[in-house]
């Protein structure tokens, strides 16, 4: 891992656990083992570092998720696998996964709530990518575009709600409960 990757990885782990505004640059420097000048060479501002961690998290998340679902051809099974993956994340069954502190994108966007802020936009991009992924697989099983949009939005809300319940209420079964609801929705739409 090169120095830039080390800085991003270290900052991500610290920001995810403690929050982006609770962690100072000096702590990132100390824990990543780089000089202050090195950090500022790559990231002239803390906001640029935060943006890099959000992009890093997005890339890691979708790479892992795509490798998990790429061999599943059935749209219904793919959608259910998204919830299995979420359950594995919540319950720390993914190798090299940090403890579950909620959704990094939700957490960071709460600290940068202005929708025009670059960091907020990157977080929103992740949420839109997830919605589009769900919609793509729903379109494999439902013929009507109207139904695809409606069902995709519902599934996406269940997915996001499961994340929030797991984080705030410590409901470690939230993804499984949401998956069960999704199965019922899909079955009712297929009738």
| 8-state DSSP, 118 | H
pTM of the model: 0.93
57: Cβ contacts below 8 Å, ≥ 6 apart: 12, 16, 104, 105, 126
CB 32 within 8 A of CB 6: yes
The pLDDT of residue 97 is 76
**pLDDT for res 190:** 77
Query: pLDDT value at position 2?
Result: 95
Residues 6+ apart with CB under 8 A from 141: 74, 75, 76, 186, 189, 190
- Kindly give the confidence (pLDDT) of every residue in the chain, 191 residues in length, as a single tens digit, with 9 standing for 90 and above: 799 999 999 999 999 999 999 999 999 999 999 999 999 999 999 999 999 999 999 999 999 999 999 999 999 999 999 999 999 999 988 877 788 999 999 999 999 999 999 999 999 999 999 999 999 999 999 989 889 999 999 999 999 999 999 999 999 999 999 999 999 999 888 77
The CATH superfamily holding the domain 46-190 is: Tetracycline Repressor, domain 2 (1.10.357.10)
Dihedral in degrees, nearest 10, Cα atoms 28, 34, 38, 39? -10
- pLDDT for res 8: 98
Residue 85 contacts residue 65 (beta carbons within 8 Å): yes
């Amino acid at each position: 891992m090169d120095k830039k990757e080390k800085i991003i990885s270290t900052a991500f782990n610290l920001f995810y656990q403690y929050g982006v505004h609770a962690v100072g640059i000096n702590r990132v420097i100390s824990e990543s083992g780089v000089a202050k000048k090195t950090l500022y060479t790559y990231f002239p501002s803390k906001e640029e570092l935060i943006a890099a961690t959000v992009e890093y998290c997005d890339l890691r998340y979708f790479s892992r998720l795509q490798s998990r679902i790429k061999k599943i051809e059935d749209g219904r099974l793919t959608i259910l696998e998204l919830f299995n993956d979420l359950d594995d994340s919540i319950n720390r069954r993914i190798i090299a996964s940090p403890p579950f502190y909620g959704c990094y994108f939700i957490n960071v966007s709460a600290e940068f709530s202005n929708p025009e802020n670059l960091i907020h936009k990157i977080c929103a991009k992740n949420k839109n990518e997830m919605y589009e992924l769900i919609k793509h697989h729903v379109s494999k099983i439902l013929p009507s575009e109207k139904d695809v949009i409606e069902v995709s939005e519902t599934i996406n809300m269940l997915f996001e709600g499961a994340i929030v319940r797991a984080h705030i209420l410590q409901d470690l079964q939230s993804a499984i409960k949401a998956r069960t609801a999704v199965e019922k929705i899909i079955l009712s739409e297929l009738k």
